A and B are shown apart, each in its own frame.
Chain A
Amino acid sequence: MDRTEEYTALLRDLEELPPALAGTVGRAKAKRRRLRLRRCLAPAGSAAAVFAAFVLAVNLWTPFALACGRVPILKELAAAVAFSPSLKTAVEHDYVQYIGQSRTDNGITVNLEYLIPDRGQLLFFVTVTGPEEMTHVMVHPTCTDGEGNKLEGYSASSQSIEPGVLSNAFSLTASRPDAVLPQVLHLTCQVSWRSGLREPDAVVEFAFPLDTALSSQGEIIEVGQWLELDGNRIYVDTLELYPAHARLLLEEDPDNAETLGGLDFYLTDGLGNRYEDGSASGTVSWGASYWFESPFFSPSREFTLHITGVEWLEKGREYLPVDLNTGEALAEPPEGISVSARREGNGTVSVAFYGPQSPGADETHYLFYQICPMSYRAPDGTNVDSLGMSHYDADALWWGTPDEQPLPEGYFIEEHSFSNYPWDTIEMGLCFTRRTYLQAPLALAIP
């Protein structure tokens, strides 16, 4: 067959379309619904956010090891983890516990299919089906051990998922290194799809033994090196490598003028593979540990850490006072960030930070970052609760109001809202006072 014949044959082969392509528009609409939901509702911590990221403390009780055979890996699961290189690799290595339990309540069926566990987190993959009008759904777990004791040392988070699609509906994340798992895990899952209801739409319960042979795996690499980073000193302590995620542990020199607010980095191994920061469960950092895609299954143990950006919070500038009458900041805001505030007619107060998205953002890639960590103080020093916080891109600030003002291309807004706030000023907590992008990444070889 010559090249022209090959070309003709290839064109013919390409005419065949996979059945999965039929659902593209439906999946796009469902994903947009989830995006809108995330934009509208507050993240973890806001009591009002029924459908927002949901966090609860749970206990751990008895350690136990359970042997588990290899599990049947469905194509569906491979598709559900395709977004994460770490999870994809973990699944390819059969690093999965098959659960395969189904429960129904009030016309809603929850299939608890798979668990990807490691020492730092448990990711649950679930399919939920129910009424036709159910366009999205959240599953909130309450976790106990075999004796009904609430678990400690782990927190749970949930995300809105599309009905009928196998998805990582909720996760448990270890909040301390000595957290251990029980022999048997009991889950009481509240299932909600209609916002505004006090009661969940369904409640289902699961119980299953945990495969601690999987969750006990991990490797700690001591680094022990100081770094001069952008005018401050950082101690790179250890790398913790787990099958489904990895952590970089840092410490700071107490004499630094600024505290470390955030870090952009990636890791490479001796084979040239690259592991990005962030994790499949959405966790970016936890205390002094920064999460990244795991090189656990890489045959290479020659790593290089590449730091590409850093956020610093100047000591003494942890809060920014804002005048709610004039809408102006009463001190210097973070570098490159502007602030505005307005009172609504219904007594609601809104404070907005706005600034350029991170480098690399374009009209199809939003790169927002957190400016205020949702900590606020009133003038008398008491803590203030917010209604919620949202990030969004917009052409204008206070769109559709008399205060509307245009924003430059590529800007985003971080907006915080407060109900019936009586004071004239508010102190907004800050994640950083300056951000630095390193043109040439700072590289650190890890022996």
Chain B
Amino acid sequence: MTEQEYIQRAEALKPRLYRAALLYLGGEAPAVDAVDEAVYRGLLHYKKLRQPEFFDTWLTRILLNACNTELRRRRRELAVAELPETAAEEFDALPLREAIRRLPGELRAVVVLRYFQGLTLAETARALGLPPGTVSTRQRRALALLRLELTEED
């Protein structure tokens, strides 16, 4: 992959990366920062990407690392507590956007990638480094908590 190809593909993926970061981090500025960081790290390492067909999941994975780093670093400011899976009533009472942010981390990642970044189940599994079956299970649990009726194909 040439640098020009990397830039073109990163530019094309950028809106989806931003949407995922926004849901993860909850604010425009930190989301832009996370996308910036992901695109920068990708720029440093695109030559090491052996299978360009996995570009989207590769850069998404870098973005998730950036988001998680940001969450750890800004724990004080963000201070959004995750709710346990038993807190069904609390999830019901929250607007969808807030409910997603307060999902347990492993469920939130699946929902964001599948239903807001538009990755397939297989791509989500690759981006998260999980077996597809695990992603499918987490997806069902997350959708149930959010009371969202979306199929696996959505």
Interface residues of A (CB under 8 A from B): 3-4, 6-7, 10-11, 14, 17-18, 20-21, 24-25, 27-29, 31-32, 35, 75, 78-79, 82, 85, 88-89, 273-274, 276, 362-365
Contact = CB atoms under 8 A, between A and B. Distances in A.
Nearest to B148: A3
B76 A7 contact: no
Contacts of A365: 65
A28 B32 contact: no
Contact of B41 (A14, A17, A364): A364
Contacts of A32: 40, 43-44
Contact of B44 (A35, A75, A79, A88): A35
A35 B77 CA distance: 29
17 contacts: A10-B97, A14-B19, A14-B116, A17-B15, A20-B28, A20-B32, A21-B32, A21-B35, A24-B35, A27-B40, A29-B43, A31-B40, A32-B43, A75-B29, A88-B77, A89-B76, A276-B73
B95 to A, nearest CB: 7
Contacts of A78: 29
B55 interface: no
Contacts of A24: 10, 14, 32, 35-36, 39
Contacts of A7: 96, 115, 148, 150
Interface of B: 7, 10-11, 14-15, 18-19, 22-23, 28-30, 32-33, 35-36, 39-45, 48, 62, 65, 73-77, 95-97, 115-116, 146-150
A136 B96 CA distance: 44
Contacts, number: 87
B32 A364 contact: no
A386 to B, nearest CB: 26
B18 to A, nearest CB: 6
Contacts of A75: 29
A274 B32 CA distance: 24
Contacts of B33: 79, 82
Contacts of A21: 14-15, 18, 32, 35
